[in-house]
Amino acid sequence: MADEKRSRSVRSALRHDGRARLALGLVGLIVAAELLSNWSPAVESFVITTLINVMIVVGLYILIGNSGVVSFGQISFMALGAYMTGLITVEASRKEFLLPDLPGWLSSLHLGTLPALVIVVVLVGLIAALLGIPLMRLSGLSASIATLSLLIISNVLITQSSSITGGNQTFIGVPVTTTTEVALVGAILAIFVAIWFRRSRIGLLLRASRDDEPAARAAGVSVTKERVVAFGISGALIGLAGAFYAHFVGSFSPDDFYFEITFTTLAMLVVGGLYSLEGAVVGALLISTIQEMLGRLENGEGLGPIHATLHDGVTAIVLACIVIAVMIFRPSGLMGHRDTDDEGPADEEDRPTPVVPADDPEAAT
């Protein structure tokens, strides 16, 4: 009894500690973002990119971190969000010129950024949930291949439906409204949604199923339903991130939402830790920073006192090597399974490594 009491008080202390860390982390994020943004326009654009990356990676975490289903298709929703907000917010006169074949009602539609974002969240979330109904019946490799197929399908649809999207052409003229503050709101919103979801009943059930799917199914948890919810929320957030991205860059093309960003955002999550929210954020910040620094060197812009020029491709090479190294030496990511505000004190971390015959992991069912 005494033991239990003590462990409960340890737990609550940790929770408070966790809350303090969360608050500290968020304040740090806000202060850093604001300070850096005032440095120079180039740094500001780096800050905004990073915050959008945080949104995407946290969106990935909501699905992957809770359910263990690794989706390669979430960037489809980013594309959807970007094109949707573009179609809503570009001025009617410009649309007529750029996309003459657009259906009439879409052509005359013109709303401000805020209503557009609301529409994006709702519609993309719904579409994601609907697509999730069949897709989330799958697990493991099947789910990964199916979601990869989704990414390819969405790319085909975007490039081929040129009357609506402009096809392979760059989609231009989206009002540039994503400031550092807006991006900060987005990133923090994403983090809170993720915390809320993780603590929700659905989140708990999903994590139970992640660790032992057959057992969860046997216990009557219809994992599919919970996964569909996670897929929908993840899709809505990533769709929103796509809209933010569109309002940040102003112009984009289908290739911006394909394999490259799928890999970099997944790399961010993997490096931080697939199953950790803190990891998602840290991974996004870390990799975005590395990417920015190397990217500048690659473009010959120099980095403070460093004026070396890196060859094209080096950034991706470094990134790929980081991912491979993490997979080999620390497959649970930099943050392991730790979570800032987790109720149970790092229970996942302390668990002894299961000793299951490892040759054929799928057979461990």
Partner 1 sequence: MNDQPILKVDGLSVAYGPVRALRGVSIEVRRGRTVSVIGPNGAGKSTLLWTITGLLKPAAGSVELEGEVISGLKPETIARRGLAIVPEGRHNFLSLTVADNLRLAQIAGRRRGGDEALYERTLDRFPVLRDRLDSPASQLSGGEAQQLAIARALLTKPLILLLDEPSFGLAPLTVEGVFEELVRLKEEGMTVLMVEQNAGKALEVADDAYILSNGEVETASSAESLKSQEDFDAAYFGEGGAF
Partner 2 sequence: MLQHIFDAAATGSLYAVIALGIALVFGVMRLVNFAYGELLMVGGYVVLLTAGLPWPLIVACTLAAVGIVAFLMERIAFRPVREADPTTMLITSFAVSILLQNIAVWIAGRRPKGVSFGSSLSEPVDIAGASVPIVEPVTLGVVAASLILFVFIMRKTELGVQMRAAAEDFRMARLMGVRADSVIVAAFVASGVLAAIAALLLVATTGSVSPYMGLQPVLIGFVATVIGGMGSLIGAAVGGFALGAVTVLLQVVLPESVVSYRDAFVFSFVILVLLAWPQGLFANRAAEERV
Binding site for partner 1 (CB under 8 A): 351-357, 359
In the complex with partner 2, the residue whose CB is nearer, 178 or 315, is: 315
CB 65 within 8 A of CB 280: yes
Tokens representing 316 are 């991706």
In the complex with partner 1, the residue whose CB is nearer, 245 or 275, is: 275
Burial class (CB in 10 A: 0-12, 13-18, 19+), 136: buried
Q: What angle do CA 29, 35, 36 make, to 5 degrees?
A: 85
Count other C-beta atoms under 10 Å from residue 156's C-beta: 11
Contact residues: partner 2, CB under 8 A: 68, 70, 134-135, 137-142, 144-146, 148-150, 152-153, 156-157, 160, 259, 263, 266-267, 270, 274, 311-317, 319-321, 323-324, 327-328, 331, 357-365
CB 242 within 8 A of CB 55: no
In the complex with partner 2, the residue whose CB is nearer, 304 or 354, is: 354
Q: How far is the CB of 332 from partner 1 (least distance, A)?
A: 15
Q: How far is the CB of 215 from partner 1 (least distance, A)?
A: 12
Query: CA gyration radius for the chain?
Result: 21
Can you tell me the distance from the alpha carbon of 180 to that of 203, in angstroms, rounded to the nearest whole number?
A: 30
In the complex with partner 2, the residue whose CB is nearer, 176 or 356, is: 356
Can you tell me the distance from the alpha carbon of 237 to that of 64, in angstroms, rounded to the nearest whole number?
A: 14
In the complex with partner 2, the residue whose CB is nearer, 292 or 341, is: 292
* Per-residue CA distances from 33 to 17, 25, 37, 146, 341 (Å): 24, 12, 6, 37, 23
Contacted entry of partner 2, partner 1, none for residue 203, CB cut-off 5 to 8 Å set by kind: none
Can you tell me the distance from the alpha carbon of 59 to that of 53, in angstroms, rounded to the nearest whole number?
A: 10
Can you tell me the distance from the alpha carbon of 174 to that of 91, in angstroms, rounded to the nearest whole number?
A: 8
Sign of the C-alpha dihedral computed for residues 73, 75, 77 and 79 taken in this order: negative
Contacted entry of partner 2, partner 1, none for residue 1, CB cut-off 5 to 8 Å set by kind: none
In the complex with partner 1, the residue whose CB is nearer, 94 or 351, is: 351
Contacted entry of partner 1, partner 2, none for residue 253, CB cut-off 5 to 8 Å set by kind: none
In the complex with partner 2, the residue whose CB is nearer, 88 or 269, is: 269
Q: How far is the CB of 261 from partner 2 (least distance, A)?
A: 12
Tokens representing 360 are 């054929």
Q: How far is the CB of 139 from partner 2 (least distance, A)?
A: 8
Count other C-beta atoms under 10 Å from residue 172's C-beta: 15
Contacted entry of partner 2, partner 1, none for residue 363, CB cut-off 5 to 8 Å set by kind: partner 2
Smallest Cα–Cα separation from 62: which of 181, 183, 210? 210
Crossing angle (nearest 10°) for helices 277-298 and 314-329: 150
Q: How far is the CB of 351 from partner 1 (least distance, A)?
A: 6
Q: How far is the CB of 143 from partner 1 (least distance, A)?
A: 24
In the complex with partner 2, the residue whose CB is nearer, 126 or 325, is: 325
Contacted entry of partner 1, partner 2, none for residue 354, CB cut-off 5 to 8 Å set by kind: partner 1
Contacted entry of partner 1, partner 2, none for residue 274, CB cut-off 5 to 8 Å set by kind: partner 2
Contacted entry of partner 1, partner 2, none for residue 70, CB cut-off 5 to 8 Å set by kind: partner 2
Q: How far is the CB of 116 from partner 2 (least distance, A)?
A: 26
* Per-residue CA distances from 226 to 102, 129, 216, 221, 238 (Å): 37, 11, 12, 9, 18
**Which residues are CB-neighbours of 5 under 8 A, at least 6 positions away?**
none
Contacted entry of partner 1, partner 2, none for residue 355, CB cut-off 5 to 8 Å set by kind: partner 1
Contacted entry of partner 1, partner 2, none for residue 324, CB cut-off 5 to 8 Å set by kind: partner 2
In the complex with partner 2, the residue whose CB is nearer, 350 or 359, is: 359
Q: How far is the CB of 9 from partner 2 (least distance, A)?
A: 36
